Amino acid sequence: MTNQKKNYHHGDLISSLIKAASDILQEEGVEGLSMRKLADKVGVSRTAPYHHFKDKNALLCAIAEAGFKAQEARLASLLSSHEEAEQRFRLYVHQYIEFADTQREVYDLMYGRLIWKTGTPTNSLKAASKQTFKRWLDWVEQLQADNVLPNNNSALRVGQASWASLHGLSRLLIDGIYLDRNDIQAMIEQMIQTLIKAQPASS
């Protein structure tokens, strides 16, 4: 019950809810995001949100979906830059981890257990995630052609495996297992080395 006009009809609750939820998410994490607290913050009664979102799961799915859109947009923006192929990939890796790091709670929703296992991903969310992944695969194909990523397997497999690696690093960050900033940067570099095809000469 903050500073909201007290019209019985709120206007556009639906987007106000997503915005407020995103705020709480960033500040307190999913644990701090309850439907009641959210409703209160928007200045509406406990159950009002349920007329716009089937349940909490649906709300979270909507936020996650927006995350996929954002991630995809970031990739598109990078792909339209005039960088060399390998350099572009390096930038992407850093960008991916940075996204996961700064938007940790959103990232957690996007790829986390809460929605995908405990909850039920919306059809709309599934579609968004699928598309984002497809965009990634398309690029992987290019990267293979440009000899940046290995050709020893299909774009699908290479894309899956390398994405899994990025995901693993992201999770360590998000879940608070690795907190040392310097370590993370160095880990990213090492991972890039492993992922790209041309390894520097050794022994």
Partner DNA sequence: TTTTTATTTTGACACTGTCAAGATTAAACG
Partner DNA sequence: CGTTTAATCTTGACAGTGTCAAAATAAAAA
Return residues touching a second copy (CB under 8 A): 29, 31, 108, 111-113, 116-118, 147, 150-153, 157-158, 160-172, 174-178, 183, 186-187, 190-191, 193-195, 197, 199-200, 202-203
For the window 46-75, what string marks contact with DNA as x by the rule CB under 7 A? xxx-xxx--xxx------------------
User: Does the protein bind DNA through residue 25 (CB under 7 A)?
Assistant: no
Residue 181 CB partners (closer than 8 Å, separation 6+) = none
What gap in Å lies between CA 81 and CA 118, rounded to an integer? 39
Structure tokens at 32: 């701090």
Asked whether 89 and 143 are in contact (CB, 8 A), the reply is yes
Structure tokens at 77: 């923006």
User: Does the protein bind DNA through residue 152 (CB under 7 A)?
Assistant: no
Structure tokens at 70: 């954002």
- The one of DNA, a second copy, none whose footprint includes residue 152, by CB under 5 to 8 A per kind, is a second copy
User: Does the protein bind DNA through residue 37 (CB under 7 A)?
Assistant: yes
Residue 88 CB partners (closer than 8 Å, separation 6+) = 78, 79, 81
Site for DNA, rule CB under 7 A: 7-11, 13, 33-37, 39, 44-48, 50-52, 55-57
